[in-house]
Amino acid sequence: MRLEFPCAKQKPTMVENPVHLRMSAKGSVWLRDKFVHHIAPILGALKLMKMGKAQQYVWIKMTKTVAIIGGGVIGGGWLARFLLNGWNINLFDPDPEAERKVNEVLVNARHALPMLYDVALPAEGALTLCDTIQQAVQNADWIQESVPERLDIKHKVMADIQAHCRADAIIGSSTSGFKPSELQEKSENKGQIFVTHPFNPVYLLPLIELVPSPQNAPADIERAKAMLTSVGLYPLHVRKEIDAHIADRFLEAVWREGLWLIKDGIATTEEIDNAIRYGFGLRWAQMGLFETYRIAGGEAGMAHFIAQFGPCLEWPWTKLMDVPELTDDLVQLIADQSDEQSGAHSIRELERIRDNNLISMMRALKQQGQAAGALIQAHEADMHTAPAQAPTMETVRRVVPVDWTDYNGHMNEGRYGQVFSDAADGFMLAIGADQDYVDSGHSFFTVETTIKYLLETHAGEDIVVDTRVLLADGKKVKLAHDMRRASDGTALASCEQFLLHVSLETRKSCAPVGAVAQALSTLSVGA
């Protein structure tokens, strides 16, 4: 594929083969600003070359294939995140139980991830179990290593990966503590290797600590960011190498204090967890550390907070520089307390509880457009497409989230109203009554809605709504919505909706205008 840029103001033209793009000196400005930083990272790796007075960027088109090396808790989470976002997965793990373990993670991920969004995820990619690292990595765009936290093992695995992978492939390591320069020590292509440290469960939590070394090219850093962002993750670019990166240094500090509180008989595992989840953990989930303390400073702000509480840092409140000896007795004490706290649930049950709680919290944040919720909004916007005009059009395809269910264990009737309202919004987008149309001073108001509840609908079910026009007569529009289960087409509910077209200036009904009027006229023929 070749893109040619005749001048700065002209858009590129696409030419089949060879695989390169070429531009003039003037065109290079447009390319650098528009293409390289926004489009190219999604397509693949670019390399700038000189061609006389012109410049040439060469890349290999992405296959949307990820190689997962190590399919444990973290590797399985990575696999689920990419797979459910439409990427094909090549998995290598010598563990004979790897397939079972990964499939168990996928069961939870398929239940959980779609419920974060109000649009359907892309079609699931294909999962291939590979017998060798070579087979897994040879055609991969992204390679994620999640093997045990031993540097000698990682060096061996990295060498095997690089012996068989594409030169432009990105290799990310899930390491919690090793610096990228340590991972790159024995590599000839050092710039290919990054630290990409995730948080469990990777298929739900968006943070990825992206840690390069000075060996990683800026263009490759940007490409890695773009690829991670495309699957709904947040790449936190750690600009300087440091042991344990950023987040784990906080976790280590809290962990050390927790061990001392247990050893000294001050608190149990459950009491420590309660202190976090009922108190500052809720604040940190939405605001982090410094923004939380900024509020604590009141109207005077952060400077006042530091002046007021800064002296406390010199008081003997912490044992951060000491670690209690993890004797057999202390380890057993912690294990016994943990069993008493959580032993009534299996690991899979605890994962489901965790996932459901995370979904509810992140969807609440999404409603406010804050913190992790803002990331979900952005990712959802990337996945959303307006329905195509047709006599019957699919206006909603989504999964029912866990926070839509009531005490009976099925979808609350108010959420049916939301589904059909979303269907009407989808119909509006299809006919051109979008935000620009609203900004021009026109919209549709719902006058009457009649819903029939046919069957129970439960959390995790994939639902589809088909919409057709029953009446389109001037300012009057009547729609019929049919909600069905996506898996087998079973009818779940139906709705008839009467709408009036209005002028937002007068707040009175009026005839549609422009392309919207034309679209309704066309669709009314079928009605």
For the chain, give every domain's residue range.
2-61, 65-237, 265-344, 385-526
How far apart are alpha carbons 65 and 382 in whole angstroms? 20
Cβ atoms < 10 Å from Cβ of 274 = 14
Residue 36: pLDDT over 50 = no
Name the fold adopted by 65-237. Answer: Rossmann fold (3.40.50)
Residue 40: pLDDT over 80 = no
Residue 527 pLDDT: 63
How far apart are alpha carbons 183 and 93 in whole angstroms? 20
Helices 413-431 and 514-526: angle between axes, nearest 10 degrees: 110
Please state the pTM of the whole predicted model. 0.82
Model confidence over 461-480: pLDDT tens digits? 999 999 999 999 999 999 99
How far apart are alpha carbons 197 and 174 in whole angstroms? 4
Pairing of strands 462-473, 392-399: antiparallel
**Mean pLDDT calculated for residue range 89-102:** 96
Asked whether the beta carbons of 121 and 84 are under 8 A apart, the reply is yes
* Spatial CB neighbours of 484, under 8 Å, sequence gap ≥ 6: 463, 464, 465, 466, 490, 491, 492
pLDDT above 70 as % of the chain: 88
How far apart are alpha carbons 451 and 472 in whole angstroms? 20
Q: What is the chain's mean pLDDT, rounded?
A: 88
Which CATH architecture does the domain made up of 385-526 adopt? Roll (3.10)
Residue 304 pLDDT: 82
Burial of 396 from C-beta contacts in 10 A (0-12 / 13-18 / 19+) = buried
Asked whether the beta carbons of 433 and 387 are under 8 A apart, the reply is no
How far apart are alpha carbons 429 and 438 in whole angstroms? 11
The least confident of 43-52, 390-399, 504-513 is 43-52
> If you average pLDDT over each of 7-11, 358-362, 380-384, 491-495, which comes out highest?
491-495
| More reliable by pLDDT, 60 or 196 | 196
Pairing of strands 21-23, 13-15: unpaired
Half-sphere exposure of 405 toward its Cβ, with a 13 Å CA cutoff? Answer: 18
Residue 4: pLDDT over 90 = no
Residue 7 pLDDT: 41
Tokens of 340: 């008493």
Residue 233 pLDDT: 97
Asked whether the beta carbons of 492 and 454 are under 8 A apart, the reply is yes
Nearest to 159, CA basis, from 130, 186, 196, 177? 186
Residue 526 pLDDT: 64
Residue 218 pLDDT: 96
Asked whether the beta carbons of 502 and 442 are under 8 A apart, the reply is yes
Residue 52: pLDDT over 50 = no
How far apart are alpha carbons 75 and 148 in whole angstroms? 11
Residue 61 pLDDT: 62
Residue 55 pLDDT level (bands cut at 50, 70, 90)? very low
Residue 246 pLDDT level (bands cut at 50, 70, 90)? very high
Residue 517: pLDDT over 60 = yes
Residue 62 pLDDT: 76
**Mean pLDDT calculated for residue range 427-452:** 97
